[in-house]
Every structure is written in structure tokens, then in C-alpha cells.
């Protein structure tokens, strides 16, 4: 039983139409567009043995508390961090960061939100990233050359605007963007943002990224860990010691070396720790989450027939 997000049901309905044309057993898959309140029975009805939810931490952990004896898989988003080490290829990093931070107008659970750049590269990388962000066309998503389409609703666009304005009021500097036009929001890059601003410590879910410099790689990893989320992180480096240090030290479900944390393919185990959720998606790993492991022991006593 699939309940799509209330504001985006069409893709789920199209998937249902495709499945209906296959040999899938009748009644084996159902799609029920409804409000969040209308889906409460999914959480409490004992006929459903597993609850898988993608959404906000507030809703996800609340559903888990109501789920009783069910298995629960939660993907609750994040504020993905990305480290650009001293020896990284600046041009490649900028190309990938501009995509990771602004594709889908930042409306991705693994959109790049926090960018940490070694001090030796900070100036040139910042300038190139600003130039890349300014080159992205914003407008009609049906136009092939549009990169930044609309935010899901004007309410959400206003929220993003208010978070950016709050950071600026508290001393942050807007390097580019920061403006809203209805449901459209510009590709925005901020620096000097206080740690407790929402654009750092919460999930923006919009085309907004924060950039800062570091001198010590271990300290950069600690900065990534300081947040309450832990979905995925990216590290651009040619230093294998740093690559494995990131793997060992970063408190996230996945570490992506020499690419953005926005990288994902369906056959990888995808999921997070801390407020980002529990359990893993990805074909094999989703099947494992939905499988009850059972054991049969046969003790040999005489002749078994």
C-alpha cells in the first residue's frame, strides 16, 4: 500500500498504471492518495507488518512511536555536508557542487547544504562556485534549458526566504541569490552563517548552501558531525588517508569520495543515522528490511524420514 505525498501524487499514480499493465498479482499493490490524517491506519493497523516513511523527522519519529510492534524504516532527510580537501581538483569540485546543491531546486534529502573548503582553496573555489550558481537558469521547468524550477509551494518558498533572511539579519553574507519570485527561489550561497541558524542546523530543502573554510581535516569532519542529521556526506580529496579517516569518523549512513553526497544509485544501501532515520533502502537492502529472518534446526535423533 503506497500513500504518496499529498502535494506530489501524480508520479505514484503513473507507476500504478504501469504496474497494472504487468502480470503483478491482483491486489498485490495499491496506491491511495490521501491526506496525512487519512493515512493513520497504515501506522496502527496490524495487517501491515512494516511501515516505511520518507519525510520530516517530526512526522517520522511520531509515526514510529505509534507503530507498535511493526518494523519501521525511516528516511528523514538531512543537511548534507561536503568537504573539499587541500589537494582537490577545484574545477571538478565546483561542477559537482553546483549540481549537488541546486539540482531539483535543492528539493532532495541529500542536496548539498554545507560546504567546507580548505583555506588554501577557499577563495578561488568560492568565486567559481558563485559564478556557476549565477549561470543557472531559473524558470519554467518545461523549458529544456531551465535548471532551477519551482519550489513545491509558495508556502515552502516563503519559509526558505525567511530562513535566509534570518541568517542575514544575524550576520551572514549573501554571495549570490537570496531572492524569491513567487514559487521560484534563486540559487543561493551564504557564508559567515552562525551555527544555530536554520540554514545550517536544519534541512533547508531548497537551493541554499552555506560555505566555510577549514585548516584541519579532522576538525572539518567534526564540524560535519556536529549536526543532528547523518544521511550522506561527500569528500573531495586525493589523500587516501583522509578518505578512510572520513569513512571512519563521519557519522553518516554513506560517505561518497570525490563526488557530492547527492550521488545515489538504487543498488546501494541508502539511509541515515541520528535524526536522518533508520533502516536502509535500495533494492537488496529494502528486501532485507522487509524480510523476517527465520531459523529451522533439525536435531538428528535416529533416522529422519
- The arithmetic mean of pLDDT across residues 191-201, rounded, is 97
Rounded-to-integer distance, Cα 112 and Cα 203, Å? 10
**pLDDT, mean of residues 241-267:** 97
d(CA 60, CA 62): 5
Residue among 198, 235, 228 at smallest CA distance from 96: 235
Give every CB contact of residue 109 below 8 A, 6+ residues apart in sequence: 54, 75, 76, 77, 78, 203, 231
Annotated active-site residue 34? The verdict is: no
CA nearest 75: which of 113, 110, 114, 34? 110
Of the candidates 82, 109, 197, 221, the residue annotated as catalytic is: 109
pLDDT for the residue numbered 41: 83
Averaged pLDDT score across all residues of the chain: 95
CB of 97 within 8 A of CB of 297? no
Report DSSP state, residue 138: B
Strand ranges in the chain using DSSP code E only, listed in sequence order: 50-54, 71-75, 81-84, 114-118, 173-176, 180-181, 184-185, 188-191, 208-214, 229-230, 232-236, 254-257, 273-274, 277-278
What pLDDT does 37 receive? Answer: 75
d(CA 146, CA 220): 34
pLDDT, residue 36, reads: 74
Q: How far apart are CA 171 and CA 177, in angstroms?
A: 16
Distances (CA, A) of 303 to 295, 296, 300: 21, 18, 7
pLDDT at 301: 74
Contact (CB, 8 A) for 159 and 180: no
Cα 60 to chain centroid distance, Å, stands at 15
Nearest alpha-carbon partner for 121 in 188, 208, 212: 212
Q: How deeply is 90 buried, as exposed, middle or buried, from its count of CB atoms within 10 A (0-12, 13-18, 19+)?
A: middle
Banded model confidence at residue 39, pLDDT cuts 50, 70, 90: confident
Q: Among this protein's residues, is 75 annotated catalytic?
A: yes
Q: Look at strands 277-278 and 273-274 and give their pairing.
A: unpaired
Query: Mapping DSSP to helix (H, G, I), strand (E, B) and coil, where does residue 232 land?
Result: strand
Answer yes or no: is pLDDT of 42 > 90: no
- Confidence band (pLDDT; 50, 70, 90) for 238? very high
pLDDT for residue 108: 96
What band does 65 get if pLDDT is binned at 50, 70 and 90? very high
**pLDDT band at residue 241 under the 50/70/90 scheme:** very high
pLDDT in tens, 81-113: 999 999 999 999 999 999 999 999 999 999 999
| Residue 79 or residue 35, greater confidence | 79
| pLDDT value for 305 | 65
Residue 203 has pLDDT above 90, yes or no: yes
CA distances from 15 to 9, 30, 33 (A): 10, 11, 13
- The residue written with cell numbers 526566504 in the block is 161
Asked if the model's pLDDT at residue 150 lies above 80, the reply is: yes
pTM value is 0.93
pLDDT in tens, 255-304: 999 999 999 999 999 999 999 999 999 999 999 999 999 999 988 777 66
pLDDT band at 26 (very low <50, low <70, confident <90, very high): confident
Amino acid at each position: 500500500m503506497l500513500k504518496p505525498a499529498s502535494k506530489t501524487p501524480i508520479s505514484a499514480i503513473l507507476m500504478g498504471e504501469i504496474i497494472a499493465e504487468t502480470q503483478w498479482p491482483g491486489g498485490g499493490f495499491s496506491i491511495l492518495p490521501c491526506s496525512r490524517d487519512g493515512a493513520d491506519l497504515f501506522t496502527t493497523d496490524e495487517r501491515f507488518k512494516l511501515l516505511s516513511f520518507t519525510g520530516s523527522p517530526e512526522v517520522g519519529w511520531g509515526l514510529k512511536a505509534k507503530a507498535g510492534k511493526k518494523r519501521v524504516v525511516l528516511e528523514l532527510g538531512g543537511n548534507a555536508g561536503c568537504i573539499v580537501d587541500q589537494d582537490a581538483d577545484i574545477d571538478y569540485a565546483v561542477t559537482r557542487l553546483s549540481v549537488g546543491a541546486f539540482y531539483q531546486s535543492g528539493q532532495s534529502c541529500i542536496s548539498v547544504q554545507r560546504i567546507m573548503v580548505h583555506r588554501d582553496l577557499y577563495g578561488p573555489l568560492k568565486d567559481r562556485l558563485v559564478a556557476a550558481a549565477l549561470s543557472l537558469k531559473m524558470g519554467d521547468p518545461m523549458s529544456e534549458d531551465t535548471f532551477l524550477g519551482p519550489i513545491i509551494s509558495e508556502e515552502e518558498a516563503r519559509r526558505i526566504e525567511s530562513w535566509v533572511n534570518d541568517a542575514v539579519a544575524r550576520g551572514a553574507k549573501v554571495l549570490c541569490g537570496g531572492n524569491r519570485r513567487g514559487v521560484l527561489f534563486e540559487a543561493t550561497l551564504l557564508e559567515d552563517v552562525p551555527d544555530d541558524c536554520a540554514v545550517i542546523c536544519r534541512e533547508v530543502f531548497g537551493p541554499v548552501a552555506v560555505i566555510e573554510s577549514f585548516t584541519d581535516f579532522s576538525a572539518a569532519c567534526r564540524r560535519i558531525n556536529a549536526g543532528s542529521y547523518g544521511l550522506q556526506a561527500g569528500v573531495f580529496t586525493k589523500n587516501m588517508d583522509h578518505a578512510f579517516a572520513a569513512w571512519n569518523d563521519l557519522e553518516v549512513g554513506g560517505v561518497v569520495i570525490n563526488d557530492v553526497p547527492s550521488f545515489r544509485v538504487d543498488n546501494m544501501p541508502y539511509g541515515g543515522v541520528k535524526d536522518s532515520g533508520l533502516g536502509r533502502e535500495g533494492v537488496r537492502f529494502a528486501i532485507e528490511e522487509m524480510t523476517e529472518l527465520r531459523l529451522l534446526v533439525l536435531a538428528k535423533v535416529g533416522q529422519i524420514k
